Chain A
Amino acid sequence: MNYSVFIRGVVVTTEKNIKIYYNKAPVIIFGLLFPLFLFFAFYIGRKIDMSIFFPGFLAMVLFFAASSVGPLITPWEKQAGTYERLLSYPVSINTIILGDVVAGSIFGLIITSIAIVVSAIFLNIVITSITLLLIAIILGTLCFASFGVLLGSPSAHSPSHIMMFSSLVRFPLIFISGIFIPLPELSGSGKLLSYISPLTYLVDIFHASLNGTSFFPLTIDLLVLIVFTCSFLLIASLFHKRNMRKGI
C-alpha cells in the first residue's frame, strides 16, 4: 500500500466532510446547544454533586458530538449521487471511513473542549490530570466517531432511516454507562450491561482525570476503548465492502 496516497486521501476526505457536513451553522449551534440543554436538564434545580455528575456529563457531550453527523455522511452521499464519484477517485473504502472518523473526532474534540473550558470558568471544575483528560478525549472522540460511522454503514440510501436507527442505538447507551447511576452503585444485570457499553469506560477515565479515582484500572479502560475503536472500524469496513459487492 502507498501510505502517502492513503494519508492524502484521509486528509482530503476529512477536509471535505468538515467543509460540507460539519461547518454549517445548524450543526455547530446544535453541537453547542445540546450540551447546554443537557446540563440544564440534569443540573438546574437539583442538589447534584458536581464531582460525580460532571464526568458523566462530559462523556455524554463527547459521545453525542463525535457520533452526531458520522452516521449520515454515507447515506447523504448515496442520496445525492456523490458517493459513486467519491469511489471513482483514487481512494479505498478504508480511506473514506477514516476520513469520516477523523472529521467526527475533530468536531467532537472542539465541542468537548468548549464544554470543558466553559465549565472550568463557570463551575470551577478542577482537573486532576490534564494529560489523562486529553488522552481520554482523543481516544473517546475516535471511538465514538467510529461508532457513528459504523451506524451509517448498513446499506441505506435514506438518511431518515439511519437517523432513526442511530437514535435508537445511541440514546439507550447513556442509561447503561454509569452516567446517571455511578458504576459502584450498579448491581446485577445493570452492572453487566454497563460492561458492554464503551461509554462506561470513557466515563471511568473522566472520573480518573477529574476526581483522581476510577472503578476499573486505567489500563483496562484505555485498552477497552482501543479495542472498541478497532472493532467499530473493522465492522464498518466489512459492511462497506459487503455493500460494494451488493452494488454500492
Chain B
Amino acid sequence: MFAIQVKNIKKTFENIIAVDNVNFNVEKGEIFGFLGPNGAGKTTVIRLLTGILMPDFGNVFIEGIDLVKNPIKAKMMMGVIPEIGNVYADLTAKQNLYLAGKYYGLSKNTLEEKSEELLSTLGIYERRNDPVRTFSKGMKQRVSIACAIIHDPHILFLDEPTEGLDVQSRRLVIETIKHLNGKGSTIFLTTHNIEEANKLCQRVCIINKGKIVAIDKPEILKSTFEKTKSIEISFDQKINRNLFVSDFISKIDLYGDKWRLYTKDLDKTIKHVVTLAQKNDLKIISMKTYGPSLEEVFVRLTEVDR
C-alpha cells in the first residue's frame, strides 16, 4: 500500500485548468519533492492531497483511505504545513499547539508531554507563553511545524517550508524533516529551492501548467536529461583562457579565480588540465567535478511549454 496514491485528479477554477489529470504514488517512508515554477499547480495539488480542496475528478488515497469519501479519517493520518498556514497570532505558542492537539483528540497528558518536547526541540520553549504575534517569521514557522506534527502524523505535507527563512530556521526545518523521516514518516514537500530538493528528496516530481512533466530520482533525472558535466579548477597564478581550448571542452567560463570547463568527457578533461599544469609549471589550488544539476533539468523541462 502506498502512503499517497493520486489517480487522475483534475481541478479547474472557472475555466482555468489548474491540475490536469495528475497521477503519481508516494511510497511509505519516502521524502517526495514536488517542484514547479510559480503558477504550475503545486499549491493546488497539495491542497487537493490534504483535503483543503476537493478534486473535480479523480481520487486521492491516503494510506488506502479515500480522501474524498472519508476526509476526516484521512486527515487524521497527516500533518500539514500550508503555504500561508499562519498560526493564531493572538494565542501563545503553547496555546497554538494545544489547539492543534485538541483537534486531533490528544489527551491532556499527551498534549502536555508532546508540546513540552516539541517546543524544546524546535528551540521556542523559552517563548512558549508569549503571543505568536511577537515572534519572527522563522519562529512562527517553527510553531507551525510543531502544530502539524504534534500528533505524530504518518504523512507530513509541507508547502514551501523554508521560503523566506533565515539560515538557522532553515536548517532546523530541514533537520526536523530528516528526523521525522528517520522515524518513518512520509514527507511530501513542495519547494522552489531545487538544491534543497536535490539533497533531501528520494524522488522528485516536476509539474508545469498543471501537468506532471517528470517524476523520478534526482540522479536519474539528471543523467537522462543532460549529459554535460563540468570541472571547476583554480591555479596559483593567472592563466590564458586559450590554454584550455580542446575538442572535448565545449565551454569555458571564469568565475572569480575559478575556471569552469564544460565537457562530455570528464576523464579526458582532467588529464588535459593536469598535463597543462605540469607543462606550464602551475600549481592546482582546487579542483571539483560537477554532474548536471537538477536545476538545469528543471529549467529545461519547464521551459519546453513556455
Q: Which residues of A come within 8 Å of B, CB atoms?
A: 2, 5, 8-9, 12, 15-16, 19-20, 80-82, 84-85, 87-92, 244-248
Q: Which residues of B come within 8 Å of A, CB atoms?
A: 13-14, 44, 47, 50-54, 71-73, 75-76, 78, 80, 82-91, 95, 99-100, 102-105, 144, 147
CA distance A87 to B71 in the complex (A): 11
Task: Determine the chain A residues whose CB is within 8 A of the CB of B85 once the complex forms.
Answer: 81-82, 84-85, 88
Closest 8 CB pairs of A and B: A88-B80, A81-B86, A81-B84, A89-B103, A90-B75, A85-B85, A84-B82, A12-B102
Is the CB–CB distance between B105 and A8 below 8 Å? yes
Taking the closest CB of chain B, its distance from the CB of A97, in whole angstroms, is: 15
The one of B52, B89, B95 in contact with A19, judged by C-beta atoms closer than 8 angstroms, is B95
Is the CB–CB distance between A90 and B54 below 8 Å? no
Task: Determine the chain B residues whose CB is within 8 A of the CB of A244 once the complex forms.
Answer: 52-54
Task: Determine the chain B residues whose CB is within 8 A of the CB of A246 once the complex forms.
Answer: 13-14
Taking the closest CB of chain B, its distance from the CB of A13, in whole angstroms, is: 8
Is the CB–CB distance between A85 and B103 below 8 Å? no
Is the CB–CB distance between B14 and A87 below 8 Å? no
Task: Determine the chain A residues whose CB is within 8 A of the CB of B78 once the complex forms.
Answer: 88
A-B residue pairs in contact (CB < 8 Å), sample of 7:
A16-B88, A20-B88, A84-B52, A84-B82, A90-B103, A91-B103, A246-B14
Is the CB–CB distance between B75 and A89 below 8 Å? yes
Provide the main secondary structure of the chain A interface: helix
Task: Determine the chain A residues whose CB is within 8 A of the CB of B87 once the complex forms.
Answer: 82, 85
CA distance A12 to B102 in the complex (A): 7
Taking the closest CB of chain B, its distance from the CB of A52, in whole angstroms, is: 43
Nearest B-chain residue to A16, judged by Cβ: B99
Is the CB–CB distance between A2 and B80 below 8 Å? no
Is the CB–CB distance between B99 and A12 below 8 Å? yes
The one of A19, A80, A82, A247 in contact with B53, judged by C-beta atoms closer than 8 angstroms, is A247
CA distance A7 to B240 in the complex (A): 76
Taking the closest CB of chain A, its distance from the CB of B23, in whole angstroms, is: 22
Taking the closest CB of chain B, its distance from the CB of A241, in whole angstroms, is: 9
Taking the closest CB of chain B, its distance from the CB of A40, in whole angstroms, is: 32
The one of A82, A90, A245 in contact with B86, judged by C-beta atoms closer than 8 angstroms, is A82
Task: Determine the chain A residues whose CB is within 8 A of the CB of B100 once the complex forms.
Answer: 89
Taking the closest CB of chain B, its distance from the CB of A33, in whole angstroms, is: 22
Other 13 A-B pairs with CB < 8 A, given A81-B85, A82-B85: A5-B105, A19-B91, A80-B88, A84-B47, A84-B82, A84-B85, A85-B87, A85-B144, A91-B75, A91-B103, A92-B72, A244-B54, A248-B53
Considering residues B47, B73, B78, which has the most beta carbons from chain A within 10 angstroms of its beta carbon? B47
CA distance A12 to B95 in the complex (A): 12
Task: Determine the chain A residues whose CB is within 8 A of the CB of B104 once the complex forms.
Answer: 89-90
Task: Determine the chain A residues whose CB is within 8 A of the CB of B83 once the complex forms.
Answer: 84
Considering residues A81, A88, A89, A91, which has the most beta carbons from chain B within 10 angstroms of its beta carbon? A88
